[in-house]
């Protein structure tokens, strides 16, 4: 698939880039995408949730009533979960939600996500650019020039550019990452991908291993 390269001002450069069939034109694997997104979301969880069980709350250990003759169930501690203020039964405890996925499966998931974007014509390629200073207005102008002002966008750069990242940071529904940070979730979450010209080759090199 050939895509025209435009300047960040929206002007056509007259050049085209051919997207690799090995990365942008494979048979998508939905289950690989599901697993990769599941892992990404699991890794975002802090896992710091905690509630106190009966052994951890403060309270008297005295037997609160006699064993027999009360007409109600026997009770040995005020900290029992059946009483108000008692410990919680099987409450949440700190844990690590992350899990392992094979590298080849994660690569397949990213290729599948990129293929879906290519099939939907949701990829724009921008000539490599930089900003002299962080300017949110300049970033918004670029989105408007590409007719993406009202879309969720993901800008992928070949190398980190502090000024570009800061320019897009405060804009809703916009994210800027580098090619080596490309992940399935961000690709699918965005309506449109904006790839810098040099990032295309870098993505190919990363996913053709």
pLDDT at 191: 94
Neighbours of 193 (CB within 10 A): 22
pLDDT at 13: 83
Neighbours of 53 (CB within 10 A): 16
Domain ranges of the chain: 2-45+98-207, 49-96
pLDDT at 4: 87
Is 90 exceeded by the pLDDT of residue 9? no
Structure tokens at 139: 């970033």
pLDDT at 209: 64
Q: What is the CATH class of 2-45+98-207?
A: alpha beta
**Cα 10 from Cα 127, distance rounded (Å):** 10
- Angle (CA) 182 183 187, round 5°: 90
What is 11-31 written as a DSSP string? -EEEEEEEPPHHHHSS---HH
pTM of the model: 0.83
Contact call for residues 113 and 40 (beta carbons, < 8 A):
no
What is 191-208 written as a DSSP string? SEEEEEHHHHHHHHHHH-
The band of 112, judged by pLDDT with boundaries at 50, 70 and 90, is very high
Q: What is the pLDDT of residues 18-77, one digit of tens each?
A: 899 999 999 999 999 999 999 999 999 999 999 999 999 998 888 989 999 999 999 989
pLDDT at 61: 83
Q: How many helices (H) and strands (E) does the chain have?
A: 7, 6
Q: What is the pLDDT of residues 119-174, one digit of tens each?
A: 999 999 999 888 889 999 999 999 999 988 889 999 999 998 899 999 999 899 99
**Among the listed residues 180, 137, 134, the one whose alpha carbon sits nearest the alpha carbon of residue 157:** 180
**Among the listed residues 141, 145, 162, 155, the one whose alpha carbon sits nearest the alpha carbon of residue 187:** 155
- Angle (CA) 161 138 164, round 5°: 10
Pick 13 or 95 by higher pLDDT.
95
């Amino acid at each position: 698939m050939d895509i025209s390269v435009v300047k960040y001002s929206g002007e056509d450069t007259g050049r085209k880039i051919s997207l690799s069939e090995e990365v942008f034109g494979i048979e998508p694997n939905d289950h690989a995408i599901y697993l990769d997104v599941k892992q990404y979301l699991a890794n975002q969880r802090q896992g710091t949730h905690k509630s106190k069980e009966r052994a951890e709350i403060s309270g008297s250990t005295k037997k609160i009533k006699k064993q027999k003759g009360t007409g109600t169930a026997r009770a040995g501690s005020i900290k029992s979960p059946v009483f108000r203020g008692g410990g919680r039964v099987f409450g949440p405890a700190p844990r690590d939600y992350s899990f392992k996925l094979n590298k080849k499966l994660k690569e397949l998931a990213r290729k599948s996500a990129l293929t879906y974007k290519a099939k939907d014509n949701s990829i724009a390629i921008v000539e490599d650019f930089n900003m002299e200073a962080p300017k949110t207005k300049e970033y918004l102008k670029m989105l408007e020039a590409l007719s993406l002002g009202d879309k969720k966008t993901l800008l992928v750069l070949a190398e980190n550019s502090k000024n570009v990242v800061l320019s897009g940071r405060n804009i809703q529904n916009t994210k800027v990452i580098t090619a080596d940070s490309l992940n399935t979730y961000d690709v699918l979450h965005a309506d449109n991908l904006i790839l810098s010209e040099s990032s295309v080759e870098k993505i190919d090199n990363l996913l053709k291993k």
